[in-house]
Amino acid sequence: MTEKTQIKQATLDDLDDLTVLFDAYRVFYACKSDPLRAHDWLRARIGNNESTVLLARVGGSAAGFVQLYPMYSSVHTARIWILNDLFVDPAHRRAGIAQDLLDAAKAFARDDGARAILLETNRDNAAARALYQGNGWSEDDTQWYSLKL
């Protein structure tokens, strides 16, 4: 029998556990491990209310997180949330935690009165794409342009 996933909005009190997950997330995306950088980034985002992080725990252990950043639509005069980061610790994968985090993110955005949640993932991330598509997310051919500074 598996333990139930508990999800809560992370606070600065969760930084130690969250830092480990966030550093592993960055390593997954080919960044060099840098726990101090991960800690400082999260401390600033959470401390300045610049993002909302939902932290999943299983049996008291930090198992995964989703990080949302606010954005606004002038045309729709509504908030939109960017689902920027979703990560589940490898030891906790295939247990439905990613699904639980997506459900929690949707509930959070709805409760906030948001119009939508947007995200972007690599085209070669088949597992993530299948998860999102299975939850009603649609891919489109919209072209985004980026300017590296």
How would residue 138 be classed by pLDDT, with cut points 50, 70 and 90?
A: confident
* Average per-residue pLDDT for the chain: 89
Residues 43-71: tens digit of each pLDDT: 999 999 999 999 999 988 999 999 999 99
Beta bridge partners of 116: 80
Residues 80-125: tens digit of each pLDDT: 999 999 999 999 998 889 999 999 999 999 999 999 888 877 777 7
CATH dotted code for 7-134: 3.40.630.30
In sequence order, what are the residues at sequence separation of 6 or more whose Cβ sits closer than 8 angstroms to the Cβ of residue 43?
12, 15
Residues 18-27: tens digit of each pLDDT: 999 999 999 9
Query: b/e map of 29-48 (b: 16 or more CB within 10 Å)?
Result: eeeeeeeeebbebbeebbee
Could you tell me the residue ranges of all domains in the chain? Answer: 7-134
Say how far residue 83 (Cα) sits from the centre of its chain: 5
**What average pLDDT does range 124-139 have in this prediction?**
78
| Residue 72, φ and ψ in degrees, nearest 5 | -130, 145
Tokens describing residue 143: 């072209």
